[in-house]
Structure 1
Amino acid sequence: MAPRFSKLSLAILALAGLNFSAPVFAQSGSSATLEEVVVTARRREESLQDTPLAVSAIGSDMLEQMGISDIEDIETLAPSLQFSQTNYKAPAIFIRGIGQRSGSPGLDPGVGMYLNGVYVPRSDAQLLDAIDVANIQVLRGPQGTLFGKNNIGGAILVDSKKPDPEALEFGVKVAGGSFGRQEVKLDSNVPITDSLAARFAANVKRSDGSIENVTAGNSLFDQDRMAVSSRVMWYATDEVEVDFFGFLSRIDERGSPYNCAFQNNGAILTQGIYRDANGATLEEACDYSSSIASQFQVSQNGEDAVYAIDNHMAALSLRFPLAGFDVESITSFAMQDNIRLSGDSDGTYIHAVQVGPDAGNQVFAGAGLTPPKAQREQMSQELKFNGLAWDDKLNYTFGIFLSQETLDNTLDGTDVGDNGLVAVGPSAAVDLGLPVPIPNALVLPVQANTALLADYTNRTAAIFAQGSWDVREWLQLTVGARYTEEEREAKHMLITPDYEEYANRLNAQIGTNPAILLPVTHVMDGIYSPVTQAQYLAYSAAEVPLVFGEPLRGSTTFSQVTPNLTLNFLATDEMLDTFGLDSFIAYATVSKGFKSGGLDVRNTQTESTLQQFEPEIVLNKEIGFKLDAIDKRLRLNVAVFQMDYTDLQVALYERGATQTEVVQFTGNAGEAVVDGFEFELTALLGDFTVTANASYTDGDFIEYMLGTNTADGFAIVDRSNEAFPQVPQNIRGLVVSYDWDSMFGRIVPQLQYYYSDEIFIGTDYLSGNYDSSTISQYELFNARLNWEFNENMALTAYVNNLKDDHYFVGGIAVTSVIGVANRVPGTPREAGLEFSVKF
Structure 2
Amino acid sequence: MNVLDGDSQIEIIEVTAQKRVENIQKVPISIASFSSERIERMALRQLNEVAEFIPNLKMSQTNDFSSSIIIRGVGSHSRNIGFDARVGLYLDGVYVGQSPAHNQDLLDLERIEILRGPQGTLFGKNNVAGSINLITKKPEDEFSGNVGISVGNYDLRQYSAILNAPISDGLAAKFSVNQYQRDGFVENIATGSSLNEQDSYSYRGQISAKLSDSIEINFSIDSLKSDRLSFDGEPITNTLGTLKNTESPEQNKVSFDIDPQEEREISGESITVDWNIDNDFIVKSITGHRDSTIKFKNDFDFSAQSVAFLDYVDDYSQWSQELQLISPESDFQYVAGIYYFQQDAFTKRLPNVGDETLSLFTGVPRSDFEYGASLSDPESIFMLAAFHPGILSTIGNVDTTSYSMFFNSNYQFNNDIRLDLGFRYSTEQKSVDWTISSIDPQTNIPVIPIFELANGQVIDKRTDHDFSPLISLNYQVNHDVNAYIKYSTGYKSGGYNVDFLTQAQLDAGIEFDKETVASYEMGLKGDLFDHQMRFSSAIFYAKYDDYQINQLVNLTAGTTALSIRNAAKVKSYGAELELTYQLTDYLVLNAAAGLLEAKFDEFPAGGSNGEDLSGTSLPGVSDFTVNLSVQYYYPIPVANSQLSVSLSYNYQDDYNTDLDGQTTVTLADGEILGIGHVDGFGIINGAISLEQLDNGISLHLWVRNLTDEDSATILGEKSFFGTRRNIYVNPRTYGLTVKYYF
When normalised by structure 2's length, the TM-score is 0.89
Aligned length: 715
Deviation string 1:636-683 (CA, Å, 9 cap, x unpaired) is 100100111111111122356x94875323111111211110111111
**Alignment check: 8 A CA contact 1:652 1:764 kept:** no
Residue 186 of structure 1, CA deviation:
0.7
Partner of 1:494: 436
Equivalent-residue separation in structure 1 for 2:451 and 2:721 (angstroms)? 18
Partner of 2:566: 668
Equivalent-residue separation in structure 2 for 1:524 and 1:124 (angstroms)? 30
Equivalent-residue separation in structure 2 for 1:78 and 1:571 (angstroms)? 27
- Secondary structure, counterpart of 2:530 in structure 1: coil
Partner of 1:63: 39
Residue 188 of structure 1, CA deviation:
1.2
Partner of 1:741: 635
**Alignment check: 8 A CA contact 1:25 1:790 kept:** no
Equivalent-residue separation in structure 1 for 2:647 and 2:363 (angstroms)? 58
Equivalent-residue separation in structure 2 for 1:387 and 1:502 (angstroms)? 64
Residue 215 of structure 1, CA deviation:
2.9
**Alignment check: 8 A CA contact 2:558 2:721 kept:** no
Asked if 1:328 corresponds to 2:284, the answer is yes
Asked if 1:396 corresponds to 2:372, the answer is no
With over 3 angstroms needed to count, the CA separation of the structure-2 counterparts of 1:768 and 1:465, relative to structure 1, is farther
Look at both structures and tell me which one has the larger radius of gyration over its CA atoms: 1
With over 3 angstroms needed to count, the CA separation of the structure-2 counterparts of 1:422 and 1:460, relative to structure 1, is farther
Partner of 2:361: 424
**Aligned counterparts, 1:592-607, within 5 A:** 592-601=489-498, 603=502, 605=504
Asked if 1:412 corresponds to 2:349, the answer is yes
**Alignment check: 8 A CA contact 1:726 1:759 kept:** yes
**Alignment check: 8 A CA contact 1:565 1:590 kept:** yes
Asked if 1:756 corresponds to 2:657, the answer is no
Equivalent-residue separation in structure 2 for 1:475 and 1:760 (angstroms)? 43
Equivalent-residue separation in structure 1 for 2:333 and 2:228 (angstroms)? 47
- Secondary structure, counterpart of 2:236 in structure 1: strand
- Secondary structure, counterpart of 1:124 in structure 2: helix
**Alignment check: 8 A CA contact 1:261 1:772 kept:** no
| 1:330 alignment partner AA | I
With over 3 angstroms needed to count, the CA separation of the structure-2 counterparts of 1:187 and 1:86, relative to structure 1, is closer
**Alignment check: 8 A CA contact 2:437 2:456 kept:** no
With over 3 angstroms needed to count, the CA separation of the structure-2 counterparts of 1:422 and 1:236, relative to structure 1, is farther
Equivalent-residue separation in structure 2 for 1:428 and 1:620 (angstroms)? 57
Asked if 1:640 corresponds to 2:539, the answer is yes
With over 3 angstroms needed to count, the CA separation of the structure-2 counterparts of 1:491 and 1:444, relative to structure 1, is closer
Residue 335 of structure 1, CA deviation:
0.9
**Aligned counterparts, 1:701-716, within 5 A:** 701-706=600-605, 716=610
Partner of 1:111: 87
Partner of 2:707: 803
Asked if 1:382 corresponds to 2:322, the answer is yes
Equivalent-residue separation in structure 2 for 1:767 and 1:447 (angstroms)? 35
With over 3 angstroms needed to count, the CA separation of the structure-2 counterparts of 1:470 and 1:119, relative to structure 1, is same
- Secondary structure, counterpart of 1:76 in structure 2: helix
Equivalent-residue separation in structure 2 for 1:664 and 1:246 (angstroms)? 37
Residue 811 of structure 1, CA deviation:
6.3
Residue 491 of structure 1, CA deviation:
1.3
**Aligned counterparts, 1:333-482, within 5 A:** 333-337=289-293, 339-354=294-309, 359-360=310-311, 375-388=315-328, 392-408=330-346, 410-418=347-355, 422-425=359-362, 446-447=387-388, 449-482=391-424
Partner of 2:551: 652
| 1:818 alignment partner AA | F
Residue 128 of structure 1, CA deviation:
0.4
Residue 108 of structure 1, CA deviation:
1.1
Among 262, 269, 275, the alignment partner of 1:314 is 269
Partner of 1:8: none
Equivalent-residue separation in structure 2 for 1:83 and 1:186 (angstroms)? 27
Residue 34 of structure 1, CA deviation:
1.3
Equivalent-residue separation in structure 2 for 1:215 and 1:688 (angstroms)? 51
With over 3 angstroms needed to count, the CA separation of the structure-2 counterparts of 1:549 and 1:425, relative to structure 1, is closer
When normalised by structure 1's length, the TM-score is 0.80
| 1:735 alignment partner AA | S
- CA root-mean-square deviation: 3.1
Partner of 1:44: 20
Residue 765 of structure 1, CA deviation:
8.7
Residue 135 of structure 1, CA deviation:
1.0
Residue 585 of structure 1, CA deviation:
0.3
Asked if 1:525 corresponds to 2:446, the answer is no
Equivalent-residue separation in structure 1 for 2:335 and 2:664 (angstroms)? 46
With over 3 angstroms needed to count, the CA separation of the structure-2 counterparts of 1:208 and 1:243, relative to structure 1, is same
Residue 343 of structure 1, CA deviation:
4.4
| 1:679 alignment partner AA | L
**Alignment check: 8 A CA contact 2:223 2:268 kept:** yes
**Alignment check: 8 A CA contact 2:195 2:259 kept:** no
Task: Give aligned-pair identity as a percent.
Answer: 25
With over 3 angstroms needed to count, the CA separation of the structure-2 counterparts of 1:288 and 1:692, relative to structure 1, is farther
Deviation string 1:725-764 (CA, Å, 9 cap, x unpaired) is 1232221111212111235542112111111223322256
Asked if 1:168 corresponds to 2:168, the answer is no
Residue 548 of structure 1, CA deviation:
11
Residue 185 of structure 1, CA deviation:
1.0
**Alignment check: 8 A CA contact 2:604 2:613 kept:** yes
Asked if 1:589 corresponds to 2:544, the answer is no
Residue 780 of structure 1, CA deviation:
0.9
**Aligned counterparts, 1:223-262, within 5 A:** 223-256=198-231, 258-262=233-237
With over 3 angstroms needed to count, the CA separation of the structure-2 counterparts of 1:426 and 1:73, relative to structure 1, is closer
Equivalent-residue separation in structure 1 for 2:623 and 2:62 (angstroms)? 18
Residue 692 of structure 1, CA deviation:
1.6
Asked if 1:825 corresponds to 2:728, the answer is yes
Equivalent-residue separation in structure 1 for 2:339 and 2:74 (angstroms)? 24
| 1:832 alignment partner AA | G
**Alignment check: 8 A CA contact 1:206 1:224 kept:** yes
Asked if 1:562 corresponds to 2:468, the answer is yes
Which shows bigger deviation, 184-193 or 684-693? 684-693
With over 3 angstroms needed to count, the CA separation of the structure-2 counterparts of 1:393 and 1:212, relative to structure 1, is same
Which shows bigger deviation, 802-811 or 628-637? 802-811
**Alignment check: 8 A CA contact 1:54 1:639 kept:** yes
- Secondary structure, counterpart of 2:727 in structure 1: strand
Equivalent-residue separation in structure 1 for 2:42 and 2:602 (angstroms)? 42
| 1:797 alignment partner AA | L
Partner of 2:598: 699
With over 3 angstroms needed to count, the CA separation of the structure-2 counterparts of 1:500 and 1:77, relative to structure 1, is closer
Deviation string 1:224-279 (CA, Å, 9 cap, x unpaired) is 100010111111123211110111110111112522233xx9xxx618xxxxxxxx
Equivalent-residue separation in structure 2 for 1:605 and 1:456 (angstroms)? 22
Equivalent-residue separation in structure 2 for 1:65 and 1:106 (angstroms)? 39
**Aligned counterparts, 1:158-307, within 5 A:** 158-165=134-141, 167-256=142-231, 258-262=233-237, 270=240, 283-284=243-244, 286-289=245-248, 291-293=249-251, 297-301=252-256, 303-307=258-262
Partner of 2:668: none
- Secondary structure, counterpart of 1:64 in structure 2: helix
- Secondary structure, counterpart of 2:422 in structure 1: strand
Equivalent-residue separation in structure 2 for 1:759 and 1:305 (angstroms)? 28
- Secondary structure, counterpart of 1:551 in structure 2: strand
Consecutive unaligned residues of structure 1, counting only runs of 5 or more, are 1-23, 272-281, 362-372, 430-435, 504-521, 529-546, 574-582, 711-715
**Aligned counterparts, 1:143-154, within 5 A:** 143-154=119-130
Asked if 1:53 corresponds to 2:48, the answer is no
Residue 719 of structure 1, CA deviation:
2.0
Residue 91 of structure 1, CA deviation:
2.6
Equivalent-residue separation in structure 1 for 2:127 and 2:476 (angstroms)? 27
